[in-house]
């Protein structure tokens, strides 16, 4: 009887362990995240500093048993794959990028687009009409203003007035064209431009701000509307950001990138 009871106990313990492992495996899954490289939000996945949003994603989801699969790809493809459900989320979206995506309540930062020129340039942005006198560098698929005036000009513009860059490293290539005199101005998010110039080893003051394109607005990790799981992911993101902010861990992550909390 004692041996039978021992066997029953062992079997019960093994069954419990099996159920626990099975539960973890069915709960824990891989969250596929894509975006083009856009430091300091997200950068090279293999870098020691892959971007503060990448670090936040891992800090939010890994304790819940999930794995973050983050890689870079051209922005237009990342948005399209997210909307089709090929990937779970993209980093750095505004509502203009993908109006039908699932947006959490908590943002991942802010964006303020501006025009950048070489230090010896006399051009200043003073409205869409002022763009007609210059060669402007933009990135394919990026929305630059809420009222759409700049975006409409870009869409209607013909080479060489508007030059659209595509693929990985688009901003770096636009900056090099600006330095070479093949562009007169480049429009980009202020903190992204600052981080990219630093990464490229371009001295402070060589490329300067010539006027903002739009008002500051929130940026998000946008989730695909075509998967049942992403509503839960969005909720976990909202809860996780709040906990990281309250614990002080969010500040530690942001400090590594010289970024201030946007709230």
Q: Where in the chain is the domain with CATH 3.40.190.10?
A: 30-110+218-255, 113-212
| 99/87 Cα distance (integer angstroms) | 17
Q: Global pTM?
A: 0.84
Q: 24: which 2 tokens?
A: 């973890």
| Per-residue model confidence (pLDDT) at position 22 | 42
Q: What is the DSSP letter of 69?
A: E
| 75/89 Cα distance (integer angstroms) | 12
Long-range (24+ apart) CB contacts under 8 A made by 61-66 are 61/31, 61/233, 61/236, 61/240, 64/28, 64/236, 65/24, 65/27, 65/28, 66/28, 66/29, 66/30, 66/31
| Per-residue model confidence (pLDDT) at position 17 | 44
| Per-residue model confidence (pLDDT) at position 10 | 46
Nearest to 183 by CA among 164, 202, 203, 196: 164
| Per-residue model confidence (pLDDT) at position 77 | 97
Q: 136: which 2 tokens?
A: 């402007």
| Per-residue model confidence (pLDDT) at position 168 | 87
The alpha helices in the chain, defined as continuous H runs, are 2-27, 52-61, 75-84, 149-156, 170-179, 190-199, 230-247, 249-255
Write the CATH number of the domain with boundaries 113-212: 3.40.190.10
* Predicted confidence (pLDDT) per residue in 66-114, tens digit: 999 999 999 999 999 999 999 999 999 999 999 999 999 999 999 999 9
Non-local (6+) Cβ contacts of 242 within 8 A are 106
| Per-residue model confidence (pLDDT) at position 4 | 53
CATH 1.20.58.390 holds for 30-110+218-255? no
* Predicted confidence (pLDDT) per residue in 114-126, tens digit: 999 999 999 999 9
**Which stretches of the chain score pLDDT less than 70?**
1-28, 158-159
| Per-residue model confidence (pLDDT) at position 28 | 57
Kindly report the backbone phi and psi dihedral angles of residue 20, in degrees, each rounded to the nearest multiple of 5, phi listed first.
-65, -45
| Per-residue model confidence (pLDDT) at position 195 | 96
Give me the sign of the Cα torsion angle 41, 42, 43, 45. positive
For every residue of 170-211, which 3-state class applies, written as one string?
HHHHHHHHHHCCCCCEEEEEHHHHHHHHHHCCCCCCCEEEEE
Q: 263: which 2 tokens?
A: 């709230």
Residues 96 and 219 sit within 8 Å (Cβ to Cβ): no
Q: 248: which 2 tokens?
A: 């002080």
| Per-residue model confidence (pLDDT) at position 12 | 54
């Amino acid at each position: 009887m004692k041996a039978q009871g021992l066997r029953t106990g062992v079997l019960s313990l093994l069954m419990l362990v099996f159920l626990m492992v099975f539960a973890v495996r069915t709960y824990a899954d891989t969250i596929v995240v894509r975006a083009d490289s856009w430091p300091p939000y997200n950068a090279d996945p293999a870098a020691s500093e892959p971007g503060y949003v990448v670090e936040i994603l891992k800090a939010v989801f890994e304790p819940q048993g999930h794995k973050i699969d983050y890689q870079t790809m051209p922005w237009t493809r990342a948005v399209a794959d997210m909307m089709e459900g090929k990937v779970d989320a993209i980093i750095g979206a505004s509502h203009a990028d993908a109006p039908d995506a699932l947006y959490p309540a908590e943002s991942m930062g802010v964006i303020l687009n501006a025009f950048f020129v070489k230090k010896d340039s006399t051009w200043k942005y003073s409205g869409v009409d002022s763009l007609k006198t210059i060669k402007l560098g933009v990135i394919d698929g990026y929305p630059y203003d809420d009222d759409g005036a700049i975006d409409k000009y870009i869409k209607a513009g013909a080479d060489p007035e508007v030059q659209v860059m595509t693929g990985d490293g688009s901003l770096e290539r636009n900056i090099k064209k600006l330095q070479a005199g093949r562009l007169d101005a480049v429009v980009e998010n202020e903190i992204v431009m600052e981080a990219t110039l630093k990464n490229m080893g371009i001295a402070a003051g060589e490329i300067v701000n010539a006027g903002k394109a739009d008002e500051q607005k929130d940026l998000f990790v946008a989730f695909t509307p075509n998967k049942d799981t992403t509503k839960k992911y969005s909720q976990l993101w909202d809860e996780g950001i709040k906990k990281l902010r309250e614990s002080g861990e969010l500040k530690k992550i942001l400090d590594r990138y010289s970024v201030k909390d946007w709230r």
